[in-house]
A and B are shown apart, each in its own frame.
Chain A
Amino acid sequence: MVFTSVVYFLFLICSLVVYYLLPARFRNYFLIAVSIFFYMYVKAAYIFIIAFIIIANYFLGNLIESSHSKKIRFRYLFLSLIINLGVLVFFKYWNFAVQNLFDLLGIFHIYKPIPVFLEIALPIGLSYYIFQTIGYITDIYRGSIKAENNFFHFTLFTLFFPKLLVGPIERANRFLPQLSKPKYFDTENFIEGSKRIVWGLFKKLVVADRIAIYQNAVMASTNEQSGSTLVFASILYTFQVYADFSGYTDIALGTARLFGFDLMENFKQPLLAKNVSDFWRRWHISLSSWVNDYVFNPIALKYRNWGIWSVFYALLISFVIIGVWHGASWNYVAFGLLQAIALIYETITKKQRKKLAKKIPVFLYNSISIILTFSFICFSLIIFRSEKFSDAENIIKGIFSNPGTLFFDNPSTLLFMLLGCVGMMIYDIQKEFKLPQLSFFTSKNWVLQQVAYAVLIIYILLAGVFDGGQFIYFSF
């Protein structure tokens, strides 16, 4: 059920009506039921995998908490990690691991039996809910949260449909306490949730899916495209991924808000980041903060006697994990490594950059920093999007060696695309720099605000791509 489809909105309206008509004590149970329906609508069989993960982690979480021996607690944690990561590896990384193992054996001329490749589809949302449950179990082990005793609360924590398929990767200490509070219809939640959904639709339908039309045309024949076209397409791809993923997140957060829940923010104007570390504090925040808490900090702490090298080592491991989280492919590993290298560079040059910042006017320094960071992100996303290294190589070679004019097959697509990107960026700039003159959407004059949102909806109807595809981050 795609978040931008008519079916989804029918489902949402019906669910909301029943949810608020039910007595408050039944509302969480109802949400579990609709979440199960929502997940099974994608593919019914996937429910068994998530059910297994819920049951296993619920009991292991409680066992960890009730055990007094550190050794036994660790064993339960270890068992939980084996289960969670085992499921993830089996469905997501098996074929990749087997292929690479056999390639490696081939290098050493070692006898290879027939490799066992599995023709299995990745259950949607697996990477998101597995990371969420690993976080939950680790927090219990560390003693930072208490295990959830209410099985239904834990089930809803894992299954809550707005965040089930593409996150945010929610934290137990933020979400579980919300389940104990009774939910009532609240006009503010309704208004703010609806506004968020409208913005999400704008980003997905007007910006991301419109750019996708251009991207598909260019990427179908990268060898024949001019360097200027490839640069333009690479810049647009950054806007596309951002609009697609943050658009989904907006709809997810807006939907959760309609039901009275507050999910964590996943984006904070990332395209206005002033350096790569700033970018990762603003981009896919639920994943980057998860990796920070459960990978980077423990590694950096464990090897703190290495000095600055512990940070470098932790960065490398963390960003390879972020890369591989996206999928079983070497281009994601390379994408992660590239981010880690950039962050190591930033750590090394921190003092010099500070000195430089003092010599240049703030506005100029910030503008250059934003442009450089944006350029780096555009470049690294060339690797991210390429299925094979040779694809990335072709694009990069083409940028520098194919002279020619900019390709655009349809002036309307180009105009709609650019207007969409400008609209999205104005909104981000207004939020980032708190510019009141751009804030029709937050105006205190309710008529002005209503007209602004009505115009936005009309623009979606005029320029949205209603035959667009799935969200990019569904495949992760």
Chain B
Amino acid sequence: MKIFNKLKRKGLSQFTLRFFVFLAIIFVLDFSIGRILKSFYFTQDSGLLFRTTFAMDSTTAQMLIFGSSTANHHYEPHSFENRLNVSLYNAGRDGNNIFYHFAVLQGILIRYSPKIAILDFNKLEFAKNPDSYDRITSLLPYYETNPKIRSIIELKSPYEKYKLLSKIYPFNSILFTVAVGNLDVNKDRKNNNDIDGYIPISKVWKNPLSLDTPVLKYEIDSNKVKYFRSFITECIKSDVNLFIVVSPRFIKYTTEDISIALAHEISDEFNIPFYDFSNDPYFLNHPELFADISHLNQNGAKIYSNKVIDKILDYHP
């Protein structure tokens, strides 16, 4: 059997040596740069990435908000703190979904149990969408530090744990963000000034009410439903008073979204209060409370927060 006919012994050993030298260079670079990035990642003290780390590893607030951008911009902490007499941290993060919310909850529940949690739920939340799995990327830096969330990260792809052998990979694409997150200048940047994780928006929406283009049927992602159920059961197990809330939007809905209907059904099954503000006429008549069709501005957030507090007080007087 001829495999190496062109190679003399000398050539082959030189090739093998160079190949291993090359692998060693890559290993050393990957390990050292990865470790430096990790250290800088966890020393950030402002910005988007810092807020996730703070929520997972440091917050001890009695009340927590989970969800995507609607959670992040809609729950004004002072109103909750004053009326409910609790401390609050907003753990919402733009563009994320139940996988992220559940991972953050897991990170928190190993340390302590908050009194109250709100999960802000969105239309199409359970829709099957590969992008939702790509979003798990934001959890990669916590793979080593938070073993409990590994199963969620591994949902991203069956090869994720092998990719994570690289020490740089968890910090892929965030080099500049990590660098900026370590600079003092970041604290002064607009949109980074969070109030206990909450980010107010000052813009005012001036366009007329949009009519919803209903997506009547779409494929439901069973993983998302599974993690939604797990979110509820983990809260119940840890004696967290969970409320599931659908935020207002400046869109007139004509049909009920199947994700919202299913989430409502599951919440009822576990006796978890579910409040849907998506068609609340008060907000539909006040465009000045919105920053865009999906997000309330700071004035809208204040009014909405008080409406949510009213519901919580009605439930737990």
CB < 8 Å: which of A7, A185, A416, A461 contacts B169? Answer: A461
Query: Which of chain A's residues has its CB closest to B178's CB?
Result: A412
- When distances are taken between beta carbons in the complex, the residues of chain A under 8 Å from B253 are none
Query: Which stretch in B20-28, B57-65, B242-250 binds the other chain?
Result: B20-28
- When distances are taken between beta carbons in the complex, the residues of chain A under 8 Å from B174 are 412
- CB-based contact B172/A463 at 8 Å: yes
- When distances are taken between beta carbons in the complex, the residues of chain B under 8 Å from A415 are 176
- A187 and B3 CA atoms in complex are apart in Å by 11
Query: Which stretch in B99-107, B157-165, B210-218, B223-231 binds the other chain?
Result: B157-165
- CB-based contact B22/A454 at 8 Å: yes
CB < 8 Å: which of A451, A457, A464 contacts B172? Answer: A464
Query: Which stretch in A20-28, A154-162, A431-439 binds the other chain?
Result: A20-28
- CB-based contact B173/A454 at 8 Å: no
> A439-457, CB under 8 A of B: which get 1 and which 0?
0000000110011011101
- A411 and B48 CA atoms in complex are apart in Å by 14
CB distance from B7 to the nearest CB of A (A): 6
Query: Which of chain A's residues has its CB closest to B22's CB?
Result: A450
CB < 8 Å: which of A6, A412, A463 contacts B163? Answer: A6
Q: A278 near B: Cβ within 8 Å?
A: no
- A447 and B30 CA atoms in complex are apart in Å by 17
- A358 and B176 CA atoms in complex are apart in Å by 47
- CB-based contact B7/A461 at 8 Å: no
Q: A408 near B: Cβ within 8 Å?
A: no
Main secondary structure, interface of A, reads helix
**How many interface residues does chain B have, given as a range?**
35 or more
- When distances are taken between beta carbons in the complex, the residues of chain A under 8 Å from B169 are 461, 466
Q: B192 near A: Cβ within 8 Å?
A: no
Q: B4 near A: Cβ within 8 Å?
A: yes
- When distances are taken between beta carbons in the complex, the residues of chain B under 8 Å from A412 are 173-177
- CB-based contact B18/A450 at 8 Å: yes
- CB-based contact B173/A416 at 8 Å: yes
**Given A6-B162, A415-B176, A458-B33, CB of A185 within 8 Å of CB of B25:** no
- CB-based contact A23/B1 at 8 Å: yes
Q: A232 near B: Cβ within 8 Å?
A: no
- When distances are taken between beta carbons in the complex, the residues of chain A under 8 Å from B175 are 412, 462-463
- CB-based contact A187/B159 at 8 Å: no
- When distances are taken between beta carbons in the complex, the residues of chain A under 8 Å from B25 are 450-451, 454
CB distance from B294 to the nearest CB of A (A): 14
- CB-based contact A184/B2 at 8 Å: yes
- A191 and B14 CA atoms in complex are apart in Å by 13
Query: Which of chain A's residues has its CB closest to B133's CB?
Result: A467
- A415 and B178 CA atoms in complex are apart in Å by 14
CB distance from A72 to the nearest CB of B (A): 44
Q: B15 near A: Cβ within 8 Å?
A: yes
CB distance from B198 to the nearest CB of A (A): 21
- A21 and B4 CA atoms in complex are apart in Å by 10
> B26-40, CB under 8 A of A: which get 1 and which 0?
100110010000000
- A194 and B11 CA atoms in complex are apart in Å by 18
- A109 and B243 CA atoms in complex are apart in Å by 62
CB < 8 Å: which of A21, A23, A186, A411 contacts B6? Answer: A186
- CB-based contact B4/A185 at 8 Å: yes
- When distances are taken between beta carbons in the complex, the residues of chain A under 8 Å from B180 are 411
Residues 266 to 296 of chain A near chain B (Cβ within 8 Å): none
- A6 and B171 CA atoms in complex are apart in Å by 19
CB distance from B159 to the nearest CB of A (A): 4
- CB-based contact B173/A184 at 8 Å: no
Main secondary structure, interface of B, reads helix
CB distance from A309 to the nearest CB of B (A): 52
> A456-475, CB under 8 A of B: which get 1 and which 0?
01100111111100000000
**Given A415-B176, A462-B172, A465-B173, CB of A185 within 8 Å of CB of B22:** no
- CB-based contact A446/B18 at 8 Å: yes
- A466 and B168 CA atoms in complex are apart in Å by 13
> A151-182, CB under 8 A of B: which get 1 and which 0?
00000000000000000000000000000001
Q: B5 near A: Cβ within 8 Å?
A: yes
CB distance from B1 to the nearest CB of A (A): 6
- CB-based contact B176/A184 at 8 Å: no
Query: Which of chain B's residues has its CB closest to A23's CB?
Result: B1
CB distance from A260 to the nearest CB of B (A): 10
Q: Which of A184, A450, A461, A466 has the most chain B CB within a 10 Å cutoff?
A: A461
Query: Which of chain B's residues has its CB closest to A213's CB?
Result: B173
CB < 8 Å: which of B2, B5, B159 contacts A6? Answer: B159
- A23 and B18 CA atoms in complex are apart in Å by 27
Residues 22 to 54 of chain A near chain B (Cβ within 8 Å): 23-24
CB distance from B169 to the nearest CB of A (A): 6
CB distance from B188 to the nearest CB of A (A): 15
Q: B113 near A: Cβ within 8 Å?
A: no
Query: Which of chain A's residues has its CB closest to B29's CB?
Result: A458
CB distance from B174 to the nearest CB of A (A): 7
- When distances are taken between beta carbons in the complex, the residues of chain B under 8 Å from A182 are 2
- When distances are taken between beta carbons in the complex, the residues of chain A under 8 Å from B6 are 184-187
CB < 8 Å: which of B2, B7, B163 contacts A187? Answer: B7
- When distances are taken between beta carbons in the complex, the residues of chain B under 8 Å from A416 are 173, 176
- When distances are taken between beta carbons in the complex, the residues of chain B under 8 Å from A457 are 26
- A185 and B12 CA atoms in complex are apart in Å by 11
CB distance from B81 to the nearest CB of A (A): 32
CB distance from B165 to the nearest CB of A (A): 11
Q: Which of B3, B7, B166 has the most chain A CB within a 10 Å cutoff?
A: B3
- A458 and B6 CA atoms in complex are apart in Å by 32
- A415 and B5 CA atoms in complex are apart in Å by 47
Q: B310 near A: Cβ within 8 Å?
A: no
- A454 and B25 CA atoms in complex are apart in Å by 7
- CB-based contact A454/B176 at 8 Å: no
- CB-based contact B30/A458 at 8 Å: yes
- When distances are taken between beta carbons in the complex, the residues of chain A under 8 Å from B173 are 412, 416, 462-463, 465
- CB-based contact A462/B171 at 8 Å: yes
CB < 8 Å: which of A20, A185, A461 contacts B166? Answer: A461
CB < 8 Å: which of A184, A447, A453, A467 contacts B4? Answer: A184
- When distances are taken between beta carbons in the complex, the residues of chain B under 8 Å from A187 are 6-7, 11-12, 15
- When distances are taken between beta carbons in the complex, the residues of chain A under 8 Å from B306 are none
Add 11 more A-B contacts to A184-B6, A185-B7 (CB < 8 A): A23-B1, A184-B3, A186-B7, A187-B12, A412-B175, A451-B25, A458-B29, A462-B171, A462-B173, A465-B173, A467-B134
Nearest 3 pairs of A and B residues by beta carbon? A467-B134, A6-B159, A454-B25
14 sample A-B contacts, Cβ–Cβ < 8 Å, listed by A number: A6-B157, A6-B162, A20-B3, A184-B2, A184-B3, A187-B7, A453-B22, A454-B29, A457-B26, A461-B172, A462-B168, A463-B172, A467-B134, A467-B137
B→A interface (CB under 8 Å)? 1-7, 11-12, 15, 18, 21-22, 25-26, 29-30, 33, 134, 137, 157, 159, 162-163, 166, 168-169, 171-177, 180
